[in-house]
Structure formats: structure tokens, C-alpha cells
Amino acid sequence: MAELLCDVRCQVGESPLWNPADGTLCWVDIEGRAVHRVDAAGRHRQWAVAERIGAIALHGAGGLLAAMETGVFHLHLHDDGTVASTLWQAVGFPLPAMRFNDGRTDRQGRFWVSSMVRDMAAANPAGALYRADAQGLGLSGIDGLRIGNGLGFSPDGRVMYLSDSHPTVQQVWAFDLGDDGVPRNRRGFIDMHQHPGRPDGAAVDADGGYWICANDAGLVLRFTPDGRLDRQLAVPAAKVAMCAFFGPRLDRMVVTTIRPAAPLAGWDHALAGAVFVLDPGCQGLGEMPFSDQP
């Protein structure tokens, strides 16, 4: 059964991130331009940022790495409610009104993040997948994305997963990922037209299971490494956005959601935008901190 993490409602809740060093759980509100955090005692705090913030990762030097509208930033959240924000690398998108969306680090500590045109109705395939590492921020060679999402990495780091959640696409792909950080051998992994909801954010468990948020369906679906659906968990909000494992044993799952402008028929609008906790019945994988050192 899904439980509320805290009494917070986000416009676009995304990128939940567990920090084992201090037992805190962070996430972002993209359109709310905020970083949220719950500590080990259950206390909630939030910090305002200057731009839409799509995804965060742990930074090896402390603080967070954040993919924002004008680039990737290094953030430090201070107890007085202020944020120290340092631009790590600027980005030049090919079109105006674009932003970063889904992102996470791989097993080697490289940060991957997708871009998108903010107007989803335009269905513009100008989005691409970026990779940040010791050499800086650059294109990965994967483009043509409308709404890049669903990033995840197998336990051995040799397989990368990526989805496009736009209603005209709704696919999840798998790639081979070598030591050089170049994705190769793109292949279909899940056709979400065959399942409820659209593929949004994702996480991978310790057994290699791929958990994908089924946006519009209020479900989190688990697929085996060979692409078979073998488990699903319900959330009492339709627009589930991203999931992550957390807790000292990484045996709990947090799910962020989106609050639509108008209530959706059949769903309790009071819960839209909330953050939920689930029991996935398995253990997850810890997130690698980003390192910009060669």
C-alpha cells in the first residue's frame, strides 16, 4: 500500500535521490523551481532555485549536481534556506524554450540527462541525451527525443535503459554501454503501447529488474532483464513521474508525481503532486556520486 512521505504537493515532482551519507531523501519540483528534502527524522525542507530543475545527482565533492535550464550546476543547500549555485557547464540547446528533464548517474559516476522542448503538444524531436563526465558535458550521440525519460543502468553497468514518454512514442530502449561511455546496439526493450500508462522515470533493482513509472495509470511496473512484466505497484495519483530506492537497506521505494492543472476523472486531486512510499519487495542499487575528476 502506498503511503505519503510528507505533506507536500509538487507541480512536477521528479528525480528522487537517496543520500546514504546523511540519511536524507531529496527530490525536485521542475516547474515549482525547488529542491525538497526529508531528513532521517522525517522533517521536510525546501529550497528555491532560479531555474526549472530537471534532475539531480550526488556530487562526489559534496552537494548536488543539478541539470537546469541554462546548464549543469553544482548546488549546496544551506541550513538558512539559501542555495549556493555554481555553474559547472553551460548548455546551448538547439531551440528556445527547452530544458533538461530526466537524469541520473551510471555505475561509473557519469551523469546522463535528457533534454526536451517544454511544449509537449509540439511533439518536437529536438531533445537529445547528454553525458557529463571528467571531460565536461556533451551530446551522447542519441537524439530525436520528444520527452527523454526512463534512464537506468544494469547492476554491472553494461546496459543502459532510456525511454521516450511522449504519447506518440511510448517506447523503452536498451543499449550496450562500454567503458568508453558510448551507448551502442540500440534495441527495443518495452513497447508501452502494450501496457497501461506512458513510460516516465525509472530505477533498477539489485537483481536487474527495471522499474518504470506508468504515467497516467498510477502504476509502477517492474520488468525482468529480458523485458517481461512480472510485478506492478499502485499509487493513488495518476501521473506518477519517477521512482527510486531509498533507506538504509535500499528496500523502500519513493515515487514522485505530477499535479495537473485540472482534476482527472476517477482520481483524487488532493493527492496529485504528492510523494509516496512503497514496499517493492526487493532491494535497490545505490546511486553513484558524480565525479568530474579524470
Write the secondary structure of the chain as one string of H (helix), E (strand) and C (coil).
CCEECCCCCCCEEEEEEEECCCCEEEEEECCCCEEEEECCCCCEEEEECCCCEEEEEEECCCCEEEEECCEEEEEEECCCCCEEEEEEEECCCCCCCEEEEEEEECCCCCEEEEEEECCHHHCCCCEEEEEEECCEEEEEEEEEECEEEEEEECCCCCEEEEEECCCCCCEEEEEEECCCCCEEEEEEEEEHHHCCCEEEEEEEECCCCEEEEEECCCEEEEECCCCCEEEEEECCCCCEEEEEEECCCCCEEEEEEECCCCCCCCCCHHHCCCEEEECCCCCECCCCCECCCC
Question: What was the pLDDT predicted at 100?
Answer: 97
Question: What was the pLDDT predicted at 271?
Answer: 98
pLDDT tens over the chain, length 294 residues? 899 999 999 999 999 999 999 999 999 999 999 999 999 999 999 999 999 999 999 999 999 999 999 999 999 999 999 999 999 999 999 999 999 999 999 999 999 999 999 999 999 999 999 999 999 999 999 999 999 999 999 999 999 999 999 999 999 999 999 999 999 999 999 999 999 999 999 999 999 999 999 999 999 999 999 999 999 999 999 999 999 999 999 999 999 999 999 999 999 999 999 999 999 999 999 999 998 877
**Which pTM was predicted?**
0.97
Question: What was the pLDDT predicted at 291?
Answer: 86
